[in-house]
A and B are shown apart, each in its own frame.
Chain A
Amino acid sequence: MSAPAATSTTAASRERDGEPLIRATGVWKIFGPKAATIIGTPDAELPRTELRAKTGCVAAVRDVSFEVWPGEVFVVMGLSGSGKSTLVRTLIRLIEPTAGTISIAGDEVTGASPAALRDLRRHKVSMVFQHFGLLAHRRVLDNVAFGLEIQGVGKAERHARAREILGLVGLEDVESSFPDQLSGGMQQRVGVARAFAGDPVVMLYDEPFSALDPLIRRDMQDEVIRLQAETGKTMVFITHDLPEALRLGDRIAIMRDGAIVQIGTPEDLVGSPADEYVENFTRDVPRSHVLTLRWIMREPEPGEPVDGPRLDVGTTVRNAVPVIAESSRPVCATSGDEVVGIVDRDAVLRAIAGEGG
């Protein structure tokens, strides 16, 4: 399939204002004895299994660098064991990174004192866990208020705030239930509410919905999308579910064996996978749902009339189909007022037919 040579025209490099909110540079996590001595040696380049056989260490995260911008939903995706959970935990040092630097909202995380780290966790970042991690001995209300309680906020105030959040996620009615009296979906709503209660800048989600039924999972994704739209929080979202990644992610990082293989928008990954691994990942994605006209248009031939129906280059192929089907003329893809490319019937059909892989 014809794809733009560079991704520079895509949303990935859309104008950014200011500084990235999260910046991770050269992060390593090696589990095992004398882990720190391995980095920088040739051993560090070994595939995981060989490293393990040789040194007994597991390189869970290998030299990972990325930036997350304010308001962005950054998805990290990969197979089981690829190091996603480890990576996201190193961001707030729930797991101590072996090497590399991390900064969040201008604060250096690596090297922060215990007090500074606590402060960061209390006020700037919060996390939602796959297995909820709720306090079984506390009511929902007190679970949601727990973060505030730890900060020393008074009872009346934290309960008021917790009620407010519970209202936001539609859990007003269960505030005095205990976690084990709720369904999995409800429990994770409590988990999300708890993370919101501290009004953090960054929210980390570690496969929050993997344990839920598909239908409930969709509900929860909608909920996250809604909350994200309402509050504009920055999110790092871990998943191994590609549809979920595509639904939520502004940008997606694909991990394999601890390293990031590719970072890009959904279209980038589907349209120009960095390697076979990513391609295999995205093979079953309905391309017409993800790809935009930008990926299938061609240059207008000299002298070719540009009188067909006009569509924005950001329109997905799927949405362009009815227009193209109606029209006898090729569609003109526009960016602003300018026509940047021509999409004919052929290209659309090829894009759709290419879906099977």
Chain B
Amino acid sequence: MTTVTETPIAVPVVAHRPWWRGKIVQSGAIVAGMWIAYRGWGGDHPWPNGLVWNQLTFKLDDFQAWLIEKRLTGGGGLVFSIFDGFRIMCDHLVAWFFDALTWLTWLGTAVAGTLLAWRFGGLRAGGWALGAFAAFAVTGLWLESTETLALMLTAVGLSLVIGVPLGIAAGRSRRFGRWLTPFLDAAQIVPAFAYLMPVVLFFSIGYAAAVVATMIYAIPPCIRITALGIRRVPVNTVEAAASMGATRRQMLGKVQLPLSRRMLLLGLNQTILFALSMVVIAGLIGGGGLGAVVNSGLFSNPALAILAGAVIVVMAMALDRITESVAERTDPARRHLDAPAKRRLRLQSLGVAGVITATVVVAKLLGVSGDFPDYSGVRQRAVTAQEWLLGQIQTVLDYVQDPTSFVFQITEPVGNFILTELLLPLQGFLVEAPWFTTLGGLTLLALVVSGLRPAVTTLLMLGLIGFLGVWALAMDTLSQVLVATLIAVLIGIGLGVWAAESRTVSRALRPVNDVLQTLPQLVYIIPFIYLMPVSIVPGIVAGVLYAFPVVSRLVERGIKDVAPDAVEAAGAFGATRRQVLVKVKVPLAGDAIMLGVNQGIIMVLAVVVIGGLVGSGGLGYEVAQGLVRGQFGQGVIASVAILALGITLDRVTQGSRSKRKESME
């Protein structure tokens, strides 16, 4: 007999189900399992020696020795001579720029820089240039600044020589652009610290290595923005020119380049900023200049390191503002010059050239030196404020390091909290838990959070790390990255949400974010070495500072982009502003938040490994040792492990995003 059952009313499946829901429980279970294993067998199962390729370090060291021998004896074939030729060319270029700038004398250089910035960027740009030169002079770091400028000119120039044509090609040919994109993406996740060792291997320590490391970092954004600029030229215009029978060359020269000029100049701006953010790291491998001052001062003369860091910041900000205003001012599509205006500009150019020449001639005749003098010739009176500045900085340093000071009362507990409540437990957990539960657990987590491919990547990369023999170090670094990312994301979300809700906050945050993003990575760390003297914490705090602006910006944009309809609908139901925020906006902005996590985690990794330089241990320390002590094999292995870690973190955080995208289609 059949019973008539009521057909159940089909419950409409919620089409838009965020991928991350329901994952929390599973993830929690996995972590709990790992935790139990840690409590039960913590420390009993380090990565087994049998699974390590012990010989690698020696093999790499041998390889280096072989290379050095070849370099000395001159053998080694074509590839080798190309590397060597490039090395010599870089060395010469930097030296030539340096000589040229000193030949102009400090006065000539300052006048030329200021007037050129004024001519092409306007009054404000001129002001920034003047301010920067003043900072070089006042700090008594003129020569170091000049050397850094010479390094920048070379690195940026070569980056443009390579990046702009590639960018143009990628912008004009879809196929080439698509082919190039994965390389650019990959370059972006490699922490700069990880490729120092290989660069040193092929170019040995010196200007060339510094230039190459800088170029590797600066070329990808150059290509990207150039391509973007070309692609942004309105299709209509390109089509119209094609319909009139323009050749490819005419199209480029008469249409695409002029119309993308502003973007190309912004590309220059980004290239410079990326290059500048490598200055300090480049100082580690022979870049000299301000970077070298920072590095050598880190332990021996902290006040000087901070001063040099400040000069780098001034230089970065000045170059940023100058190139930005040049880009804005010379956009031919917006700036319409009539004939008198053109004539006026031509006169200005002539005037600028005249004044510069005159200044240089007079300065040469008067015997003005290339370096800004520390003491005046007359009564041995100091003309730079270096000593005074150093004294001031030292006072502040003494204050923040004085256990009875007010600041210390704050920084000390904060630092200790991060260390004892977050870092050490996580570190212990990751490092000491049985290697197989950690490896398996992390792979499972990747599977649950992001899917199969990221999980496979995780397994392979972590396996590689273990195989290289740096499991414990990598887990140490990972714990630092996770803690810093957590803090950065929390701060970023908080500020992002706040800024999205309040115009005032948004406006107040923007300059802070701008400044934080302009700073070279290592510069972040410097103050915190002294502010939070616990060795691991400065790297963490610096990572947080480096990453949270990006997170907060993405979150802010994500929330602002949430469809007004949804917000309005919720409002119509009588939801309070708070409910709208928590129930509608934040969930809908989930994508932006995940993107923030993805970008933030990579940025954090880049900075955290640099922390190895100041004693935060982990993989970064190995690289630092490799660089400083010449322990090459060890450094390369750590570099590879950093890269493996970067790939894992990127794929896991990004995989979830692309999965989400798929499910939306």
Q: Which residue numbers of A lie inside 8 Å of B, CB to CB?
A: 89, 92, 94, 117-123, 125-127, 129-137, 146-147, 149-151, 176, 178, 180-181, 191, 194, 198, 204
Interface contact B236-A131, CB-CB below 8 Å = yes
Those 6 A-B pairs whose CB atoms lie nearest each other, nearest first: A133-B240, A122-B245, A121-B245, A133-B236, A136-B333, A137-B332
Cβ < 8 Å to A, chain B residues 323-346: 332-334, 336, 338
- Cα-based distance from A81 to B254 in the complex (angstroms): 32
Interface contact B245-A146, CB-CB below 8 Å = no
A137/B333 contact (C-beta < 8 A), A94-B239, A129-B236, A176-B338 known: yes
Q: Is B252 an interface residue (CB 8 A)?
A: no
Supply 5 further A-B pairs (C-beta < 8 A) apart from A119-B245, A121-B243, A194-B240. Answer: A129-B236, A146-B241, A146-B254, A150-B245, A176-B338
23 pairs across A/B with beta carbons < 8 Å?
Answer: A94-B239, A117-B245, A118-B245, A118-B247, A119-B245, A121-B243, A125-B243, A129-B236, A129-B243, A130-B236, A135-B254, A135-B255, A136-B332, A136-B333, A137-B259, A137-B333, A146-B241, A146-B254, A149-B254, A150-B244, A150-B245, A150-B247, A181-B336
- Cα-based distance from A136 to B259 in the complex (angstroms): 7
- Cα-based distance from A92 to B239 in the complex (angstroms): 11
Residues of chain B within 8 A of A131, CB atoms compared: 234, 236
Interface contact A133-B239, CB-CB below 8 Å = yes
A135/B245 contact (C-beta < 8 A), A176-B338, A178-B336 known: no
Interface contact A126-B243, CB-CB below 8 Å = yes
Q: Is B242 an interface residue (CB 8 A)?
A: yes
- Cα-based distance from A53 to B259 in the complex (angstroms): 38
Interface contact B242-A94, CB-CB below 8 Å = yes
CB distance from B548 to the nearest CB of A (A): 38
CB distance from B603 to the nearest CB of A (A): 36
Interface contact B243-A94, CB-CB below 8 Å = yes
Interface contact B239-A129, CB-CB below 8 Å = yes
CB distance from B247 to the nearest CB of A (A): 7
CB distance from A33 to the nearest CB of B (A): 14
Residues of chain A within 8 A of B26, CB atoms compared: none
Q: Is B258 an interface residue (CB 8 A)?
A: yes
Interface contact A133-B245, CB-CB below 8 Å = no
Residues of chain A within 8 A of B239, CB atoms compared: 89, 94, 129, 133
Interface contact B244-A122, CB-CB below 8 Å = yes
Q: Is B250 an interface residue (CB 8 A)?
A: yes
CB distance from A206 to the nearest CB of B (A): 10
- Give which listed residue, A137, A147, A181, contacts B245 with CB less than 8 A: A147
Residues of chain A within 8 A of B338, CB atoms compared: 176
Nearest A residue to B331 by beta-carbon distance?
A137
- Cα-based distance from A129 to B242 in the complex (angstroms): 12
- Cα-based distance from A51 to B235 in the complex (angstroms): 27
Residues of chain B within 8 A of A146, CB atoms compared: 241, 244, 254
A151/B245 contact (C-beta < 8 A), A135-B255, A137-B333, A178-B336 known: yes
Interface contact A92-B255, CB-CB below 8 Å = no
- Cα-based distance from A262 to B242 in the complex (angstroms): 31
CB distance from B581 to the nearest CB of A (A): 39
Interface contact A127-B245, CB-CB below 8 Å = no
- Cα-based distance from A120 to B245 in the complex (angstroms): 8
Interface contact B259-A133, CB-CB below 8 Å = no
- Cα-based distance from A129 to B234 in the complex (angstroms): 13
Nearest A residue to B261 by beta-carbon distance?
A137
Cβ < 8 Å to A, chain B residues 243-286: 243-247, 250, 254-255, 258-259, 261
Residues of chain B within 8 A of A92, CB atoms compared: 243
Nearest A residue to B248 by beta-carbon distance?
A114
Residue interface bits B475-503, CB-to-A below 8 A is 1, else 0:
00000000000000000000000000000
Nearest A residue to B336 by beta-carbon distance?
A178
Interface contact B250-A150, CB-CB below 8 Å = yes
Q: Is B54 an interface residue (CB 8 A)?
A: no
- Give which listed residue, B234, B254, B332, contacts A133 with CB less than 8 A: B234
Residues of chain B within 8 A of A150, CB atoms compared: 241, 244-247, 250, 254
Nearest B residue to A93 by beta-carbon distance?
B242
Q: Is B296 an interface residue (CB 8 A)?
A: no
CB distance from A189 to the nearest CB of B (A): 15
Interface contact A136-B237, CB-CB below 8 Å = yes
B241, B258, B336 interface centre (most CB from chain A within 10 Å): B336
Interface contact B336-A198, CB-CB below 8 Å = no
Residues of chain B within 8 A of A127, CB atoms compared: 240, 243
- Cα-based distance from A137 to B245 in the complex (angstroms): 19
- Cα-based distance from A17 to B289 in the complex (angstroms): 82
CB distance from B377 to the nearest CB of A (A): 52
Nearest B residue to A122 by beta-carbon distance?
B245
- Cα-based distance from A180 to B259 in the complex (angstroms): 14
Interface contact B244-A121, CB-CB below 8 Å = yes
CB distance from B592 to the nearest CB of A (A): 30
CB distance from A352 to the nearest CB of B (A): 43
Residues of chain B within 8 A of A132, CB atoms compared: 236, 240
Interface contact B258-A137, CB-CB below 8 Å = yes
Residues of chain A within 8 A of B240, CB atoms compared: 127, 129, 132-134, 191, 194
- Cα-based distance from A261 to B90 in the complex (angstroms): 67
Nearest B residue to A142 by beta-carbon distance?
B254
- Cα-based distance from A89 to B235 in the complex (angstroms): 13
Interface contact A147-B242, CB-CB below 8 Å = no
- Cα-based distance from A114 to B145 in the complex (angstroms): 53
Residues of chain B within 8 A of A125, CB atoms compared: 243
Interface contact A134-B237, CB-CB below 8 Å = yes
B239, B240, B247 interface centre (most CB from chain A within 10 Å): B240
Nearest B residue to A124 by beta-carbon distance?
B245
Cβ < 8 Å to A, chain B residues 218-243: 234, 236-237, 239-243
A120, A136, A180, A204 interface centre (most CB from chain B within 10 Å): A136
- Cα-based distance from A153 to B240 in the complex (angstroms): 19
- Cα-based distance from A117 to B245 in the complex (angstroms): 8
CB distance from A197 to the nearest CB of B (A): 9
Residues of chain A within 8 A of B334, CB atoms compared: 136, 180
- Cα-based distance from A158 to B145 in the complex (angstroms): 52
CB distance from A218 to the nearest CB of B (A): 24
Interface contact B243-A135, CB-CB below 8 Å = no
- Cα-based distance from A178 to B234 in the complex (angstroms): 16
Cβ < 8 Å to A, chain B residues 292-319: none
CB distance from A133 to the nearest CB of B (A): 3
Residues of chain A within 8 A of B254, CB atoms compared: 135, 146, 149-150
- Cα-based distance from A194 to B236 in the complex (angstroms): 14
Residues of chain A within 8 A of B245, CB atoms compared: 117-123, 147, 150-151
- Cα-based distance from A131 to B244 in the complex (angstroms): 16
- Cα-based distance from A162 to B333 in the complex (angstroms): 21
Interface contact A135-B237, CB-CB below 8 Å = yes
Nearest A residue to B246 by beta-carbon distance?
A150
Nearest A residue to B240 by beta-carbon distance?
A133
Residues of chain B within 8 A of A149, CB atoms compared: 254
CB distance from B572 to the nearest CB of A (A): 33
CB distance from A110 to the nearest CB of B (A): 17
A198/B244 contact (C-beta < 8 A), A135-B255, A136-B259, A137-B259 known: yes
Residues of chain A within 8 A of B333, CB atoms compared: 136-137, 180
Nearest B residue to A151 by beta-carbon distance?
B245
Residues of chain A within 8 A of B247, CB atoms compared: 118, 150
Nearest A residue to B247 by beta-carbon distance?
A118
- Cα-based distance from A181 to B247 in the complex (angstroms): 28
- Cα-based distance from A243 to B334 in the complex (angstroms): 37
- Cα-based distance from A120 to B242 in the complex (angstroms): 11
Residues of chain B within 8 A of A151, CB atoms compared: 245
A134, A135, A146, A176 interface centre (most CB from chain B within 10 Å): A135
Residues of chain B within 8 A of A181, CB atoms compared: 336
